[in-house]
Amino acid sequence: LDAFAPIAEDAVRAAAQDIALERALRAAKEEWVAERVSFADLRVQARAVTVAGERKLKGSVPALIAIIEDLAVHPELALKAIGALIAIGDERAVGPLIESARQRPALYLGQIVFGVARIGGKEAEAYLFTMANGHPDPSVRQNAKDALSELSRRGHLREE
C-alpha cells in the first residue's frame, strides 16, 4: 500500500484544488470570473466558462466569444463556451455564434440554431429564416423552422 501513497496524495491534492477553485469561482466578483475564462490553464478556464454560464455573467461575454472564434480551441471547451453564451442570453453573442456555425463541424450546428433562437433578436431571426429556407440539409432546415416557431411562441418575431 505504501507504493500507492504518492498517487493517493496527488489525487487528494487535485480534488482539494478543484473544490477550492469551484468555491472561488462561485463566490467571486464577475470581473474575476471573466479573467479566468481567458486563463491559460485549461482546467481553470473550463470551470470558469461553466460558472460564467451558470451565473449568467454578461461581463464574460467578450471572453466567451473569443473562445468560440478561436478554431484551435479544444472542441469540448468550444461547446462549453457556446452553452455559456446561450445561457447568458446576450444578443452580442448571436453574430459570433452564427459565424462559429459556419466555421465548425456540423455537430455544433444544432446547438447553435436552437441557442440563437433562445437568445433571439433580429439577427437571430434573419439567420434562422435563412437556414429554414435555404440550408441544403433537410434536418437543419427543420431544426431552423422549429427554432423559428419557438421564437414565435415566445412572441419574439418582429411584425412585418
Q: Is the pTM of this model over 0.85?
A: no
Q: What is the pLDDT of residue 160?
A: 42
Q: Tell me the CA distances in angstroms from 103 to 4, 56, 93, 97, one per residue in order.
A: 46, 26, 15, 10
Q: What is the pLDDT of residue 156?
A: 60
In 46-56, which positions are buried (b, 16+ CB within 10 angstroms) versus exposed (e)? bbbbbbbbebe
The upper half-sphere exposure of residue 96, i.e. CA atoms within 13 Å in the direction of its Cβ, equals 21
Query: For residue 84, what are the contacts with CB-CB under 8 A and spacing of at least 6?
Result: 49, 50, 52, 53, 60, 64
Give me the tens of pLDDT residue by residue for the chain, a chain 160 residues long.
Answer: 678 888 888 888 888 877 877 777 788 788 888 899 998 888 989 999 999 999 999 999 999 999 999 999 998 999 999 999 999 999 999 999 999 988 887 778 888 999 999 999 999 999 999 999 999 989 889 999 999 998 888 876 654 4
Cell digits of residue 146: 422549429
